[in-house]
Amino acid sequence: MMTTLVASLRIALRALMVNKMRSALTMLGIIIGVGAVIAMIAVGSGAKKRIADQIASMGSNILIVLSGSATSGGIRWGAGTVPTLTVEDAKAILTEIQGVKYVAPNLTGIAQLVFGNQNWSTIVYGSTPEIVDIRDWFLSSGRNFTQQDIDGATKVCLLGKTVVENLFGGMDPIGQVIRIKKVPFIVIGVLAPKGQSAWGQDQDDLVFVPLTTAQKRLFGMQFPGMVRTITVQAREPDVMKTVEEQIIELLRQRHRIQPGQDNDFSVRNLTEVMSSAEQSAKVMSLLLGAIASISLIVGGIGIMNIMLVSVTERTREIGIRMAVGAKGRDILFQFLIESLVLSLIGGTLGIGIGVAGTLILSTFTQWPTLFSIKAILLAFLFAGSVGVFFGFYPARKASLLNPIEALRYE
Amino acid sequence: MQPLIRVRDLVKIYRLGEVEVHALRGISLSIDKGEFVAIMGASGSGKSTFMNILGFLDRPTSGEYLLEGRSGEHLTRDELAEIRNQKIGFVFQGFNLLARTSGLENIELPLIYGQIPSRKRKEIAQKALTAVGLEGRGHHQPSQLSGGEQQRVAIARALVNQPSILLADEPTGNLDSKTSAEIMAIFQRLNREMNITIIMITHEPDIASFARRKILFRDGKVVDDRNSGL
């Protein structure tokens, strides 16, 4: 059987070489189909991975309590919202709710930073030292601020990598003095880079200062003692729902909100938001793959078409083969191998084109892409199945020819 | 000694649209091993239909056909194909070789369907090539061979599985008289030296005279059947 397989492949290749142009054009559908599938899956996988990385890098089990009611969608730490939360609220959450591991109250705003003749406008987070742990930040140099900095409202700051690049160029910023909103601050640390977030935000474009300093010097003068957001880290993923409910209950009590009245804050489960983004990415990836697969089907129809023509053209040849002893299944096999060879060669070329196209795409668009061997093998198998499926009808037709009539065919 | 071929009351009727064509109206004859038979008759006399049935390319409507004492009556399409492969060798007027395929590969074709392994195939095909006098030209494709050479390749292909009968349908129809004579000489040699049974359709009396027995068909019946005493 093995010799027949190799011999059959050779015979099939020879038959396809007879009309190289025709074979090439027939393969085009499969090539494009497989190439498209590979490219779409790579783009989809890249997006999924980026979001998964995002989830991992953001710190786990995070809830954000925001000032203002829930009508603003998404996560907006806007400078325009009136802060309705206090540092005491944050302390209460930590002490009174069991499932809470860390809290970090934040007062945030946008400010202009100046160093020498460089300036840069960015987000300034006033927070407590825990924020670094909660949000999985690491320091690439220098030190975090401490409880003493909070107590003393010292004018120290931690800079993200993008800020460092824009203000200091290649220079080491540690120990240097920059002005935030014209107030002088000493740089005590630099945050390790995190890169772009899943929706394109530069995560390294930020500054941390002690909460008290932010309240006293930068943003809190209008609303003394208030914070805009509280970042809460729960102990485990399982307790997050409970913690969320308990926070809402606790704050309603503290803010003396009557039953029936809206909350003057909102609670967001960060992980949930990211999960739904991940889900969307998965669905999008599947959809793209499905659409690309349609072009593969079209390629298969092309194969069926050409094989039907080929069978008709070779009617005499089929008659001769039957006369010397070819059985129906020999003829079936012969033509099926031909369509299989067409689709597999097309599949291989399509993989090449798909990989090359994806690389070109990612260079020009900066979209994340991810190749998986599994997807490539799957596409190859899919191409083969298309060849067999669409080649079957013409092959069967050939095998059912009447040898006498076939021999008479002009 | 049982005849190689025995045919009794063979009838073939086939439909051509609404018309029923009685191609064979009851043929009865026998052919022994080693005979060289010419079948003659006008178009429509049923000789081609008879050949197709002899070669297991077609089934009779009624009647009996036994080759080596066995009938093909209850055989499937695939089983008939196998009999053709093992027992029958065909030679056609138009040669019917596979284009873009070398002479040697053409000769190998029945061996491929006979599940003979590759090396053995080449060996056997080479021998057959030599037997028809084309040694050394096996790599040429039909387009590079003359009519006579193509027919020799076809004869080699027909013999390669050592069939019981060689069926030739107007084997010299596309050849000039000189080449025709060469082909007929090959047939005679195969018949005399290797005792191969040859049944040949022809409408040319000169060609028919190379055979030892002549059967005349008319309107689906045998009207004459004589040995020439060669």
Which residues on chain A are in Cβ contact (under 8 Å) with B51?
none
More confident residue, B15 or A76: B15
Which residues on chain A are in Cβ contact (under 8 Å) with B77?
327-328
Among B14, B50, B96, which would you mutate to test the A interface (most chain A Cβ atoms within 10 Å of its Cβ)?
B96
The residue-averaged pLDDT of A214-221 equals 78
Position B49 scores a pLDDT of 94
Position A198 scores a pLDDT of 63
Which residues on chain B are in Cβ contact (under 8 Å) with A14?
100
Q: Measured between alpha carbons, how far is A109 from A129 in angstroms, rounded to an integer?
A: 18
Instruction: Classify strands B165-169 and B197-201 as parallel, antiparallel or unpaired.
Output: parallel
Residues paired with residue B37 on neighbouring β-strands, in sequence order: B199, B213
Distances (CA, A) of A277 to A54, A179, A324, B56, B164: 11, 38, 65, 70, 77
Nearest to A404 among B58, B82, B113 (CB): B58
Token reading at A287: 């959809």
CB A208: neighbour CB atoms within 10 A?
A: 28
Asked if A317 lies within 8 A of B112 by C-beta distance, the reply is no
pLDDT over 50 (residue A184)? yes
Asked if A325 lies within 8 A of B118 by C-beta distance, the reply is no
Mean pLDDT lowest for which of A107-111, B38-42, B152-156, B211-215?
A: A107-111
CA atoms within 13 A on the CB side of A80: 2
- Classified as helix, coil or strand, A83 is coil
CB A96: neighbour CB atoms within 10 A?
A: 13
Q: Measured between alpha carbons, how far is A346 from A36 in angstroms, rounded to an integer?
A: 13
* DSSP letter assigned to residue A324: T
Which amino acid is residue A303, in one-letter code?
A: I
Asked if B96 lies within 8 A of A403 by C-beta distance, the reply is no
More confident residue, A135 or B133: B133
The residue-averaged pLDDT of A100-106 equals 85
Position A69 scores a pLDDT of 61
Q: Which position has the token pair 């060798």? A: B89
The length of chain A is 410
Mind listing the pLDDT tens digit for each residue in B135-168?
989 999 999 999 999 999 999 999 999 999 999 9
Mean pLDDT lowest for which of A51-60, A236-245, B100-109, B153-162?
A: A51-60
pLDDT over 60 (residue B18)? yes
Q: Measured between alpha carbons, how far is A4 from A272 in angstroms, rounded to an integer?
A: 58
Among A2, A3, A18, A324, which would you mutate to test the B interface (most chain B Cβ atoms within 10 Å of its Cβ)?
A324
Position A72 scores a pLDDT of 47
Q: Assess B92–A contact: CB distance below 8 Å, yes or no.
A: yes
Distances (CA, A) of B100 to A229, A317, A320, B142: 81, 11, 14, 7
Token reading at A83: 């802060």
Position A81 scores a pLDDT of 58
Nearest to A328 among B52, B78, B161 (CB): B78
Among B53, B108, B112, B121, which would you mutate to test the A interface (most chain A Cβ atoms within 10 Å of its Cβ)?
B112
Which residues on chain B are in Cβ contact (under 8 Å) with A324?
84-85, 90, 109-110, 113, 157
Position B156 scores a pLDDT of 96
Fold adopted by B5-227: Rossmann fold (3.40.50)
Chain A residues with at least one Cβ partner in B under 8 Å: 3-4, 7, 14, 18, 316-317, 319-330, 403-404, 407
Which residues on chain A are in Cβ contact (under 8 Å) with B164?
none
Angle formed at CA B138 by CA B132 and CA B144, multiple of 5 degrees: 100
ipTM value of the model?
0.94
More confident residue, A270 or B212: B212
Mind listing the pLDDT tens digit for each residue in A20-50?
999 999 899 899 989 988 888 888 888 888 7
Residues paired with residue A142 on neighbouring β-strands, in sequence order: A189
Asked if B81 lies within 8 A of A322 by C-beta distance, the reply is yes
Contacts of B94 (CB under 8 A, 6+ apart): B174
pLDDT over 50 (residue B215)? yes
- Smallest CA-to-CA distance from B65 within B55, A376, A357, A171 is with B55
Q: Measured between alpha carbons, how far is A143 from A129 in angstroms, rounded to an integer?
A: 11
Q: Considering chain B, what percentage of its residues have pLDDT values greater than 70?
A: 99
Position A375 scores a pLDDT of 84
What DSSP line would sit under A105-167, residue for residue?
EEEEEEEEEEETTEEEEEEEEEE-THHHHHTT--EEEE----HHHHHHT--EEEE-HHHHHHH
Token reading at A84: 């309705």
Position A306 scores a pLDDT of 92
Position A73 scores a pLDDT of 45
The mean pLDDT value of chain B amounts to 93
Q: Measured between alpha carbons, how far is A107 from B78 in angstroms, rounded to an integer?
A: 86
Token reading at A97: 């709710």
Burial of B43 (0-12, 13-18, 19+ CB in 10 A): exposed
Q: Assess B119–A contact: CB distance below 8 Å, yes or no.
A: no
What DSSP line would sit under chain B, residue for residue?
---SEEEEEEEEEEEETTEEEEEEEEEEEEE-TT-EEEEEE-TTSSHHHHHHHHTTSS--SEEEEEETTEE-TT--HHHHHHHHHHHEEEE-TT--PPTTS-HHHHHHHHHHHTT--HHHHHHHHHHHHHHTT-TT-TT--GGGS-HHHHHHHHHHHHHTT--SEEEEESTTTTS-HHHHHHHHHHHHHHHHHH--EEEEE-S-HHHHTTSSEEEEEETTEEEEEEE---
CB A112: neighbour CB atoms within 10 A?
A: 13
Q: Hey, which residues 170-189 in chain B have their CB within 8 Å of chain A?
A: none
A217: pLDDT confidence band, cut at 50, 70 and 90? confident
pLDDT over 70 (residue A182)? yes
Q: Measured between alpha carbons, how far is A386 from A393 in angstroms, rounded to an integer?
A: 12
Q: Assess B109–A contact: CB distance below 8 Å, yes or no.
A: yes
Q: Measured between alpha carbons, how far is B183 from B168 in angstroms, rounded to an integer?
A: 11
The mean pLDDT value of chain A amounts to 84
Q: Assess B98–A contact: CB distance below 8 Å, yes or no.
A: yes
Q: Assess B78–A contact: CB distance below 8 Å, yes or no.
A: yes
Residues paired with residue B166 on neighbouring β-strands, in sequence order: B89, B198
Q: Assess B117–A contact: CB distance below 8 Å, yes or no.
A: yes
Position A131 scores a pLDDT of 78
Q: Assess B50–A contact: CB distance below 8 Å, yes or no.
A: no
Position A77 scores a pLDDT of 46
Q: Measured between alpha carbons, how far is A288 from A285 in angstroms, rounded to an integer?
A: 5
The residue-averaged pLDDT of B163-174 equals 95
Which residues on chain A are in Cβ contact (under 8 Å) with B58?
404
Which amino acid is residue B187, in one-letter code?
A: F
Asked if B112 lies within 8 A of A7 by C-beta distance, the reply is yes
Q: Measured between alpha carbons, how far is B32 from A305 in angstroms, rounded to an integer?
A: 50
> What's the first-to-final CA gap in chain A, in angstroms?
34
Position A136 scores a pLDDT of 76
- Smallest CA-to-CA distance from A65 within A47, A44, A41, A86 is with A86
Q: Measured between alpha carbons, how far is A217 from A135 in angstroms, rounded to an integer?
A: 24
- Smallest CA-to-CA distance from A304 within A386, A187, A221 is with A386
Distances (CA, A) of B103 to B90, B140, B173: 16, 6, 21
8 Å CB contact between A265 and A66: yes
Residues paired with residue A112 on neighbouring β-strands, in sequence order: A121
- Smallest CA-to-CA distance from B136 within B146, B145, B126 is with B126
CA dihedral sign, ordered B161, B163, B169, B173? positive
8 Å CB contact between A84 and A225: no
